[in-house]
Structure 1
Amino acid sequence: MKNIQLAVLTFVFLGFFSCSKNDNDTVSPTPAPSTTIDVNSPWQYSIKFDGTAYSHVEGAQDFQGSVGWSSSLVGAPDPSSTTFSSSLDNINSNVEGFGIELGRVYFFGNEVDTAVFKDFLQTGPRNYSVDPANGVSVGFTDPSGTYWSSSFGTANQSGSLFSITEYKTLGMVLWSYQVKIKATFNCKVYDFAGNVKTITDGVYVGVFENYY
């Protein structure tokens, strides 16, 4: 009988020991989600406008991405030309929208060739211009509804930078060929009265489109 009791007690003790938790055990924390913004991120922008941060992502707070182009068609022997634009705007108001215009692409015929369009948006720096015809122009509408552009006022952009850092082809979407980019930038922006403010830490991820 004593042998049976000893066996039972031994079993209970071993069972308790095997199920007990060691207070020294550590549990690895769940990794935080990545906050890295790259060309695969949703359409978005983030800037510091005179030190105040603004950022929006497509699909949140009524913001929606849009694309555009402006062509000047002329006959041979002169080339035609097109500028391309991409923006993220609030569809219910005009505030805190941000956009980029790039140009100008020269071509012969009725449309920009896909290879030319893709090459135009490859990674690398761009020069600011008083209009997008010879480089890049960026624009931002502040919370009061005032529009600011890098090509207004004196358009002085000494020390400013704009660079396409990542590039991804999306291919044909309906009747358009799309390319997605990530750009980083800083610049001076001016309102219609010539007042100046600065944009720093700028990041833009968005689509440009060549329509056929």
Structure 2
Amino acid sequence: MKTLRILTLALFAAFSFSSCDKEEDEPLSEGVDDRYAIEAELDGQAVVLREGKDGYFNFGSTGKTSGDGFCLNRATMIIGKYHDVSKTNTKLKDTFQVTIQRYARVCSADNSYEKGLYQVGEYPFAKDATDRDANGVVILYTDVNGVDWSTNRGSQDQSGSRFEVTAHQPIKSKIYQYETDAVFNCRLYNDAGEAIVLTKGRIKARSIPYPSKYQ
């Protein structure tokens, strides 16, 4: 998760600077689109994060993590907001990240893998591993206090949980190739092993950027 977090922080920083320059490129959000949102109930309490409302926005990213004899290819949909952004301090709060990842023994030479990560259908929940247990989806929620809760922390028990991509289609955009819809329910754990039950989860978000843009 460390590499994914670093990638996310970098993209938040890129957003904050690129959105000020209208001459070179469209801003990362390409204009507010309130169709992009995540809805869920956390321990029975309704949560809705919608682009354009209360400072929330959406973007997608791709990346990979490599180590001794393994490579994790990742694609992530993010809906949330950033706080206290400066040259030395970036904090994520009120943010959901939904990551599809795939294990391989070696990393590919290009980024052609990314289009295949999202497929309509159900996915297992990935474990924090450097083998095929790492295949699947990881859901990360950063709460209002900056505490991370995710499906692959704590006991990682996801018995009875479910994640399904219900639509994945191309969009007209200078930055993004696809938008993706998914539904899910799961348990999220913090580093202390405490759990939040997430039900009635639903996300619609920009997902796969063009490789030449922000990679």
TM-score by length of 1: 0.68
Separation in 1, partners of 2:151, 2:138: 6
Write out per-residue CA displacement over residues 143-181 of structure 1, whole angstroms, 9 at most, x where no aligned residue: 33322101100100000000001111126635xx52111
1:91 aligns with 2:89: no
Larger CA deviation: 128-137 vs 195-204: 128-137
Does 2:50 align with 1:53? no
- Cα separation, 2, equivalents of 1:109 and 1:155: 28
Give the letter aligned to residue 119 of structure 1.
Answer: G
Distance of 2:192 and 2:165 partners within structure 1: 30
SS of the residue corresponding to residue 114 of structure 2 reads helix
The answer as to whether partners of 2:81 and 2:93 remain within 8 angstroms in 1 is: yes
Would the alpha carbon gap of residues 83 and 49 (structure 1) be closer, same or farther in structure 2, given more than 3 Å must change?
Answer: same
Residue 144, structure 1, aligned to residue 145, structure 2 = yes
Task: Give the Å deviation of 1:185.
Answer: 0.1
Task: Decide whether aligned partners of structure 1 residues 190 and 80 sit closer, same or farther in structure 2, where only a CA change above 3 A counts.
Answer: closer
- For structure 2, list consecutive stretches of 5 or more residues without a partner in the other structure: 1-32, 84-90
Decide whether the 8 Å contact of 2:75 with 2:117 is kept in 1. no
Match status 1:103 vs 2:101:
yes
Structure number, greater radius of gyration: 1
Indicate the residue corresponding to 1:82 in structure 2: 73
Q: Letter of the aligned partner of 2:52 in structure 1?
A: G
SS at match of 1:91: strand
Q: Is the 8 A contact 1:73 1:110 kept in 2?
A: no
Runs of 4+ in 1 over 6 A off after TM superposition: none
1:117 positional shift: 3.3
SS of residue in 2 equivalent to 1:117: helix
- Assess if the C-alpha contact under 8 Å between 1:105 and 1:120 holds in 2: no
Aligned to 1:62: 55
Q: Which residue of 2 aligns with 1:33?
A: none
With normalisation by structure 2, the TM-score equals 0.67
- Per-residue CA deviations over 1:183-203 (Å, capped at 9, x if unaligned) read 000001101100112000000
Judge conservation of contact 2:38–2:202 (CA < 8 Å) in 1.
Answer: yes
* Alpha-carbon displacement from aligned partner over 1:43-62 (angstroms, at most 9, x marks no partner): 11001000001001111110
Aligned positions, number: 166
- Root mean square deviation of aligned Cα: 2.7
Q: Percent of aligned pairs with the same residue?
A: 23
- For residue 40 of structure 2, give the secondary structure of its aligned residue in structure 1: strand
Cα 1:126/1:94, change in 2 over 3 Å: same
